[in-house]
Structure 1
Amino acid sequence: MKLFQVRKGQFVYYNNELHKVYGVKPMYRQSVHLIRLRDLSQHLTSAAEVERYKPKEFDSFIFNHKAYTLKLDQNAEEGDYILIHNPRPDSLDTYSLNEIEMVETVDKKGIITSNSHGVKHNEYMLMVPGLEENSHPIDFKDMESDGVADLQEAPPQNVNLTDNVLLPALGDIYQKKDSTELFITMVLAVKAETVYLGGGLEISAFELMNAEKWEFLYNLQDQDT
């Protein structure tokens, strides 16, 4: 892919495995920040090394070590996971393409997620636990590859935060995902592996890169903003 074609949230194949684009930082040589879905490990690469995949109904994949099958004809219930494939957020919501969120409450019009996002039923696909009989596995682009079996059994790999290109950058805007209130902050300074955020917060870079707790939104210097 070309760099201008890569967008946050896209499903892509990298090294034959399914990933999701977590962020794009054009100023770096390895400008594409990925999350591998099967174990949520983080990886950096270039746009030329990834190939986009658009998820569809009956696709199945492993998310955080558990298998799920995507369904369109079934509304979510409390505690389910959803994949937001058709995002239409209102002015108060911040979710985007291919967000994976847990359902907290359900009504006739839609659901409220654990991140307090209001999502209409036509915006998501339900992630049904397990592999359906007619499902289409998408964990690997080439399921016949010699390395697939080894990759399935490989332990999770973590990002080496000592490499400067992996550290959050000045002007990065993050949203705290595990908060009951909307909290968005900016990176004000980075010293070694310590990140200083607006509001007087001081946390480690590793914690800020945890996709379960923090979501990268954009950088003030990005051309797309």
Structure 2
Amino acid sequence: MKLYQVRKGQFVFYENELYKVYSINPLARKSVHMYRVKDMEQATGKADELTYHRPQHMDSFMFYGKRYTLREDREPEVDGFVLVTKPDPEPMSHYGLNEFEKVDQLEGKTVLTSRQNIIKRKEFIVMSDGMDEGARDISYQNPEIVTEDQLEADRRLERKLSREQEIQPNIGDIYLNLHDGSRSMVVAVVEDDVYLGHGEKFPIRELLNSDHWTLVYVNTDFVL
């Protein structure tokens, strides 16, 4: 289904690949700002270039280099991920449509996430590791036109991102903020703190939190 009105958080297909909308600028010619779910690569497009997809049970896709299957028939686990498909946040919670949330604690039928959000069971689908038997791969809108070279590139991407997630921040590395789509460069690392180009200071452990930040560029010319 083509989109003419776009909502933040929607899953869409753009140029045959799965993206998520993170911002809309109605004054721009290409008003829809997205990131590709498999690697967080950003793109901009127009609403009529997109095809809407509503995530559902047994959909499978790669999220930042790792394969998951959406399961309504499984219960969340600590340190696992859930996808918020029917957001109904409490007053002190901050999340929206199709947020990726990491489970920190289980509290009956609700979960407390690593971002301190309390999410009710009816609001999310569990993200099960791997591609389960009978799952539908939604990484591409039309798998028939995907070349073997693209599939091999996906396999290389998975290996590359797996290695990068183990890397400590270095000066010149660039991180993507998963909540507002902004990018920031590491300009200093002092003991257990990291300083970003726009002036913010964080503990290193917060920058390495995959729920908040994603490494999108590794500066191989400078190693601490």
What is the TM-score when the length of structure 2 is the normalising length? Answer: 0.68
Match of 2:137 in 1: 137
SS of the residue 1:103 aligns to:
strand
Match of 2:46 in 1: 46
What do residues 98-134 of structure 1 show as CA deviations (whole Å, max 9, x unaligned)? 0011100001130011111100111110000011111
| Equivalent runs, 1:74-153 vs 2, <5 Å | 74-145=74-145, 147-153=146-152
SS of the residue 1:38 aligns to:
coil
| Equivalent runs, 1:185-196 vs 2, <5 Å | none
Match of 1:61 in 2: 61
Question: Any conservation in 2 of the 1:10–1:20 contact (CA below 8 Å)?
Answer: yes
CA distance in 2, matches of 1:153, 1:39: 15
**AA aligned opposite 1:22:** Y
SS of the residue 2:143 aligns to:
coil
Q: Which runs of 4+ in 1 moved over 6 A?
A: none
The two structures, once aligned, show a CA RMSD in angstroms of 2.9
The alpha-carbon deviation at position 78 of structure 1 amounts to: 0.5
CA distance in 1, matches of 2:12, 2:88: 22
SS of the residue 1:151 aligns to:
helix
The alpha-carbon deviation at position 50 of structure 1 amounts to: 0.8
What do residues 151-198 of structure 1 show as CA deviations (whole Å, max 9, x unaligned)? 333477xxxxxxxxxxxxxxxx9599xxxxxxxxxxxxxxxxx657xx
CA distance in 1, matches of 2:149, 2:64: 17
CA distance in 1, matches of 2:44, 2:180: 19
**AA aligned opposite 1:128:** S
Match of 1:15 in 2: 15
What do residues 73-104 of structure 1 show as CA deviations (whole Å, max 9, x unaligned)? 21101000100011110111120110011100
**AA aligned opposite 2:148:** A
CA distance in 2, matches of 1:93, 1:130: 29
CA distance in 1, matches of 2:69, 2:3: 30
The alpha-carbon deviation at position 140 of structure 1 amounts to: 0.5
What do residues 20-67 of structure 1 show as CA deviations (whole Å, max 9, x unaligned)? 101111111111111101111111111111110001101101111111
SS of the residue 1:144 aligns to:
helix
Structure 1: state its 5+ residue gaps. Answer: 157-172, 177-193, 203-210, 215-225
What is the TM-score when the length of structure 1 is the normalising length? Answer: 0.68
The alpha-carbon deviation at position 15 of structure 1 amounts to: 0.3
Structure 2: state its 5+ residue gaps. Answer: 158-178, 183-196, 202-209, 214-224
Residues 106 and 131 (structure 1), Cα distance of their counterparts in 2 relative to 1, 3 Å cut: same
Match of 2:6 in 1: 6
Question: Any conservation in 2 of the 1:140–1:148 contact (CA below 8 Å)?
Answer: no
What is the aligned residue count? 171
CA distance in 1, matches of 2:122, 2:3: 30
